[in-house]
Amino acid sequence: MKGKSGSRSEHQSPLRRIGMGILYFVLVIVALVQLYPLVWLFQLSLKTNQEVFGMSPFALPKSPRWENYINAWFDGGINKYFLNSVWYTVVAVLLTLILASFVTFALTRMEWKLKGVVLALFMIAYMIPLHSTLIPLFNIYNKINLIDNPVSIILSYTTFNLPITIMILLGFYQSLPREIEEAAVIDGCSIHKIFFRITLPMTVPILSTTAIINMIYNWNEFVFVNTFISSEKWKTITVGVNNFVGQYLTDWGAIGATLVISILPILIVYLFLSDRIIEGLVAGSVKG
């Protein structure tokens, strides 16, 4: 069935055109649906609490409340937390990517006995629920004096993202052609040279992908920050959101404003990294 209609459409351009028309129609609709949350968030950020509740949630605010942004910036403390979020995220993402690449390289390219065990250890590490780890982790950090120290956050982000990053990389390393590496071995390249000069550049597309994923996780994380950090000066932007949640009142407009401000940086970085996914491919195939 599929084959027939497919091969016919190769020749009958009107049918093909209709097919493409439908395809684009669907693609555009989905794109609108996916873009809408951003629009909604922006609307939310300009509303009063009264407009947020009870009124149609998708109506425009009567008069936009730009004060929400001022509240978010000062009361929410974004001005204080922003840089922390940036450097925790950047450092943790880089650490995770490089460490995970090391491990994946060793697991897929090198020859040693305990491979299976080590892989299993990383996979099982992905399975533990976050809330089971909080009390033991607090104890560990407390013993080594890392409570209220950003190192605890970076270590947690790196470690807890390692298993998933390794698993994603694994699928790619397995499908990467090995010929170049094998050639390099014959040429007498050292193992580090092979890893850094050949394998790592070939994985730029997937590294960009995992970088995006890691970045989003770290940027939006708040459980670790709230648990291990107590000083204002070390908190992150997600704390700003939570500053507007109270027992008897939650200021949704200000939360919306905080979320808009906090999504902008990762949106920009995302768009940048997103292009690397393809660029890397070009670089890789040139090599090949």
Minimum distance from CB of 13 to another protein (Å)? 15
Query: Tokens 């204002």 — which residue?
Result: 232
Find the binder of another protein among 70, 111, 214, 234 (CB under 8 A).
111
Does residue 216 touch another protein according to CB under 8 A? yes
How far is 149 from 158, CA to CA, in rounded Å? 15
Binders of another protein among 246-285, rule CB under 8 A? 246-252, 254-256, 259, 262-263, 266-267, 270-271, 274, 277-278, 281, 283-285
Find the binder of another protein among 47, 73, 88, 194 (CB under 8 A).
194
Reduce the secondary structure of the chain to three states and give it as a string.
CHHHHHHHHHHCHHHHHHHHHHHHHHHHHHHHHHHHHHHHHHHHCCCCHHHHCCCCCCCCCCCCCCHHHHHHHHCCCHHHHHHHHHHHHHHHHHHHHHHHHHHHHHHHHCCCCCHHHHHHHHHHHCCCCHHHHHHHHHHHHHHCCCCCCHHHHHHHHHHHHHHHHHHHHHHHHHHCCCHHHHHHHHCCCCHHHHHHHHHHHHCHHHHHHHHHHHHHHHHHCCHHHHHHCCCHHHCCHHHHHHCCECCCCECHHHHHHHHHHHHHHHHHHHHHHHHHHHHHHHHHHHHC
Minimum distance from CB of 82 to another protein (Å)? 15
Does residue 139 touch another protein according to CB under 8 A? yes
Does residue 196 touch another protein according to CB under 8 A? yes
Does residue 163 touch another protein according to CB under 8 A? yes
Closest to another protein by CB, 82 or 222? 222
Does residue 83 touch another protein according to CB under 8 A? no
Largest CA distance in the chain: 73
Considering CB under 8 A, how many residues would be counted as binding another protein?
A: 156
How far is 30 from 33, CA to CA, in rounded Å? 5
Closest to another protein by CB, 86 or 134? 134
Does residue 66 touch another protein according to CB under 8 A? no
Site string for another protein, 2-31 (x = CB under 8 A): xx--xx-xx---------x--x---x--xx
Minimum distance from CB of 20 to another protein (Å)? 8
Does residue 168 touch another protein according to CB under 8 A? yes
Minimum distance from CB of 14 to another protein (Å)? 17
Cβ distance 77 to 257 under 8 Å? Answer: no
Minimum distance from CB of 88 to another protein (Å)? 12
Find the binder of another protein among 42, 64, 82, 125 (CB under 8 A).
125
Does residue 46 touch another protein according to CB under 8 A? no
Find the binder of another protein among 47, 69, 84, 154 (CB under 8 A).
154
Closest to another protein by CB, 4 or 14? 4
How far is 90 from 165, CA to CA, in rounded Å? 15
Does residue 61 touch another protein according to CB under 8 A? no
